[in-house]
Amino acid sequence: MSDPLSPIFAALADPTRRAILSMLLEDDMAVTDVAEPFQMSLAAISKHLQVLADAGLISRERRGRVIWCKLEPDALKAASVWMQGFGQFEPVDLDALERFLETELRDDSDEDVP
Amino acid sequence: MSDPLSPIFAALADPTRRAILSMLLEDDMAVTDVAEPFQMSLAAISKHLQVLADAGLISRERRGRVIWCKLEPDALKAASVWMQGFGQFEPVDLDALERFLETELRDDSDEDVP
DNA sequence: GACATATTCAACCATCCGGTTGACGATCGC
DNA sequence: GCGATCGTCAACCGGATGGTTGAATATGTC
């Protein structure tokens, strides 16, 4: 794998996929359950999950007829670490964190969970 | 601006653009000088700079006939802060930082600066 | 075995993306 | 004013992306 960062950032560039990651942060989920809040087809969600898996951001494991999706934080960490190479970002600014999580939440509900 | 993060991550998803950001980290640069190390046309670099500017990652200022490009760290910070919403990433792991910066550098030279 | 559920595959479509080339608009030096 | 330099614009091209629908594959249940 010669350029691991590009697929990671590309995967993060879609609000649906970021919403999926947020959901998986809470708990592992079956594909059907991941798809439930969105208004697009199950096949579309399946493709999004494939993109996330290709980027290494999630893994999928079949248990019975259900496939469980699980967050794989290492890939995200790689991207996070690359960003910190740009220095000057104080590790965590809680005010900014709060503001941006709010923004993200509002965007997700506007665009993906009507 | 309803979804600031998507254009930022999309901008970061291209190794040429990440290389440009790294160059601008050192110093402000004219468009022509940004383009010099790459083997693609000036117009292509100009488009990359437009993508970075649209994402808020850089700003451009005309001085005489030269346009100076300058890093705008706030946008990158927004993305970085979003990532830290996924918690569990110790602020800076210097070993990982070094490894990934090396990887990034090698990738850039393979793909963009032959 | 028959049927229902969970997920992916395949084909298709519209749009976006990254690159090219050539023309164009500004600005500098003479 | 003229020619050279800096940078963008416009049109084009091939390939990726994000979505759809319908068929196919697995697995669990009866």
Q: Which DSSP string corresponds to A34-76?
A: HHTTSSS-HHHHHHHHHHHHHTTSEEEEEETTEEEEEE-HHHH
List, for residues A67-107, the tens digit of each pLDDT value.
999 999 888 877 887 887 665 544 444 444 444 434 433 44
pLDDT(A1) > 80? no
Cα–Cα distance, A59 to A93 (Å, whole number) = 30
Say what the pLDDT of residue B4 is.
87
Say what the pLDDT of residue A89 is.
46
CATH of the domain at A58: 1.10.10.10
Average pLDDT of chain B to the nearest whole number: 80
Backbone angles phi, psi at A70, to 5 degrees: -140, 135
Q: Is strand D in 7 Å reach of the CB of B59? A: no
Task: Specify the higher pLDDT residue, B90 or B114.
Answer: B90
Identify whether A12 is part of a domain: yes
Identify whether A74 is part of a domain: yes
Identify whether A48 is part of a domain: yes
Contacts of B26 (CB under 8 A, 6+ apart): none
Q: Give me the domain span that covers residue B95.
A: 5-111
Q: Stated in angstroms, how far is B56 CA from D13 C1'?
A: 29
Give which of B1, B2, B3 to mutate to test A binding, by max A Cβ within 10 Å: B3
Among B36-50, B58-72, B80-94, the minimum mean pLDDT is found in B80-94
Q: Are strands B29-30 and A66-71 parallel, antiparallel or unpaired?
A: unpaired
* Total count of domains within chain B: 1
Return the percentage of chain A with pLDDT > 90, whole number.
57
Tokens found for residue B69: 């490009």
Cα–Cα distance, A28 to A5 (Å, whole number) = 24
Say what the pLDDT of residue A86 is.
67
Identify whether A89 is part of a domain: yes
Q: Is strand D in 7 Å reach of the CB of B32? A: yes
Identify whether A114 is part of a domain: no
What value does the mean pLDDT take over residues A26-33? 96
Closest of B73, B76, B74, B66 to residue B29, by C-alpha: B66
Q: Footprint of strand C, using CB within 7 A?
A: A 30-33, 42-43, 46, 49-50, 60, 65-68; B 10, 13-14, 16, 39-41, 43-44, 47-48, 51, 62, 64-65
Cα–Cα distance, B11 to B57 (Å, whole number) = 8
Long-range contacts of A93-99 (CB under 8 A, 24+ apart): A93/B77, A93/B81, A96/B77, A96/B78, A96/B81, A97/B81, A97/B84, A97/B85
Tokens found for residue A37: 């809040």
Backbone angles phi, psi at A8, to 5 degrees: -65, -50
SS3 B55: coil
Say what the pLDDT of residue A82 is.
80
pLDDT(B114) > 90? no
